[in-house]
Each structure stands twice: as structure tokens, then as C-alpha cells.
């Protein structure tokens, strides 16, 4: 909700509809229509070297999306790196995924990097379908996106489709190489080792995008459909979702 105060929970800074349950489950959006929620590690992390070059980093987390319906959901969630947590008040719900708004979408001044887990096809942003993973840089028109699934190493690398709103927990790995600008995003069901082949990749120099210090967290939004977006646990220790930053 715009203007709502931030709250602390499980070493996270929360706003909007986001809550942390007593057993540590992060709930970004719950059973309400048109809510948005954010959860951030409360302290910024260093994302640029003294030279101005973006540092390499990697993040890993587990999520689940539960819709009131089995064949569609709205609107999705995102892993996000942002220059502050203050952007959240102006960000819109629904198709804007609580990341941006009509006025600032596409602006270089956003200094925002996100990986969207999008469950609605928004033609305004040229979404490829209603079940995709996208790499976003300052804009909800993804730099690159791909239908949700994973490459199964146990079956010779065959591609297997997944549904973001299957109500099943899934793993996500986000990696950025500061030397080459390569961004890799990999998915797999819980219990499956990280596939050798990423789901979606893009080459993009994040040096002019990421600020020297940025906040790491999650954003989520729904529309007129009740959907719950969960971060179920961290793959590695630490609530900041960053497993490697060097």
C-alpha cells in the first residue's frame, strides 16, 4: 500500500502486504486483490568496485505461488536489486509487479535490476506468455525472457516445462559475471540439482545500472485474482538472498 510504513520481520524490512509467519515463511502477498508487497535485506550491499565496474554476484532462493485457480494466476513476483527501498511506495501493483509505474518504466534513473517470475501475459510489456521468467533492467520490457521450465541433466538435457503457479516449491539461481556481463537465471524443482544449462541468459553490463550500494530483496503484486507469493526458504544461510558477492 502506498505510504505504508516499513516493518521488520526475520531480519527483513517489509512493506505493503508482506509478512513473515512465526515459522519464518516470507509471504509477499496474501489473499487480497490488488495488493503489493516488498521484503528487503535491511542493509545495502556493495555492487560496484571503486573503478565503477559492477561486481560479480550470485543469489539463490526457493519460492512458491499459490493461486485460487489452477489454470491462471496474477501477476507474479521478482527478485530485485534497487538503489533504495523507497521506490516501493510509488511502484504499482498488477502488471507492474510492484517494481515500477507508468511514469518511470524504462528510465535509466531507476537503477533497478530484477528477475521476474511473471504469471500474466501483459501485451504492454510484450510478454511472451503468461508463464515466463524474464531479466529486467530499469524496464518491464524484459531484456530476455523464456517460458518457465528447466533443462533436465538426468535426461540428457531435455527441456521440461514448469508452471510458476503450480503450488509447488521451485528453486531459482541468479548469477552475474562482472567481467563478461553475462546474466544467467536457472530454475529447477526442489530436490533437483542445479541444471548445467540456464533457463534464460542475457549479456548486459550492469555497471551503469547498479549503484555503489544497493538493496536486495523481493517484490510481488497481484490484480483481481487472489494469489499468494511465498519465499519458502533460502538455499544458503543469510536472509539477504546473496550467496556470493565478490
Neighbours of 244 (CB within 10 A): 12
Beta-carbon contacts of 155 under 8 Å, excluding residues fewer than 6 positions away, are none
Nearest Cα to Cα of residue 232 among 190, 199, 195, 198: 190
Range with the poorest average pLDDT among 64-68, 139-143, 210-214: 64-68
**CA separation for the pair 183, 175 (Å, rounded):** 6
Residue 72 vs residue 192, higher pLDDT: 192
**CA separation for the pair 50, 52 (Å, rounded):** 5
pLDDT single digits (tens) 143-153: 999 999 999 99
pLDDT, residue 118, reads 92
**CA separation for the pair 237, 206 (Å, rounded):** 26
Residue 151 β-bridge partners: 159
**CA separation for the pair 18, 30 (Å, rounded):** 8
Q: What's the N-to-C CA distance of the chain in angstroms?
A: 35
How does residue 239 score in pLDDT terms, banded at 50, 70 and 90?
very low
**pTM of this prediction?**
0.89
Average pLDDT, the chain: 86
C-alpha cell at 140: 518491464
> Is residue 69 classed as helix, strand or coil in its secondary structure?
coil
Q: What are the residue ranges spanned by the domains of the chain?
A: 7-245
What burial letters (b/e) apply to 42-57, b meaning 16+ CB within 10 Å? eebbebbeeeeebbbb
CATH class of the domain comprising 7-245: mainly beta
Amino acid at each position: 500500500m502506498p505510504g505504508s510504513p516499513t516493518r521488520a520481520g526475520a531480519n527483513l524490512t517489509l512493506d505493503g502486504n508482506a509478512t513473515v509467519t512465526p515459522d519464518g515463511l516470507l509471504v509477499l502477498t496474501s489473499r487480497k486483490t490488488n495488493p503489493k508487497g516488498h521484503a528487503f535485506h535491511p542493509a545495502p550491499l556493495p555492487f560496484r568496485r571503486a573503478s565503477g565496474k559492477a561486481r560479480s554476484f550470485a543469489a539463490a532462493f526457493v519460492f512458491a505461488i499459490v493461486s485460487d485457480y489452477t489454470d491462471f494466476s496474477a501477476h507474479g513476483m521478482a527478485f530485485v536489486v534497487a538503489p533504495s527501498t523507497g521506490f516501493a511506495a510509488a511502484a504499482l501493483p498488477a502488471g507492474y509487479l510492484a517494481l515500477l509505474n507508468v511514469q518511470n518504466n524504462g528510465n535509466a534513473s531507476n537503477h533497478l535490476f530484477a528477475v521476474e517470475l511473471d504469471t500474466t501475459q501483459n501485451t504492454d510489456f510484450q510478454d511472451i506468455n503468461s508463464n515466463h521468467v524474464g531479466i529486467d533492467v530499469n524496464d518491464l520490457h524484459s531484456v530476455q525472457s523464456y517460458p518457465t521450465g528447466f533443462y533436465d541433466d538426468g535426461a540428457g538435457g531435455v527441456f521440461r516445462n514448469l508452471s510458476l503457479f503450480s503450488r509447488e516449491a521451485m528453486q531459482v539461481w541468479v548469477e552475474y559475471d562482472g567481467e563478461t556481463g553475462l546474466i544467467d537465471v536457472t530454475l529447477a524443482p526442489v530436490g533437483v540439482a542445479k541444471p548445467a544449462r540456464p533457463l534464460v541468459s542475457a549479456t548486459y553490463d550492469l555497471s551503469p545500472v547498479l549503484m555503489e550500494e544497493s538493496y536486495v530483496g523481493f517484490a510481488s503484486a497481484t490484480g483481481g485474482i487472489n494469489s499468494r507469493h511465498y519465499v519458502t526458504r533460502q538455499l544458503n544461510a543469510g536472509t539477504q538472498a546473496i550467496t556470493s558477492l565478490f
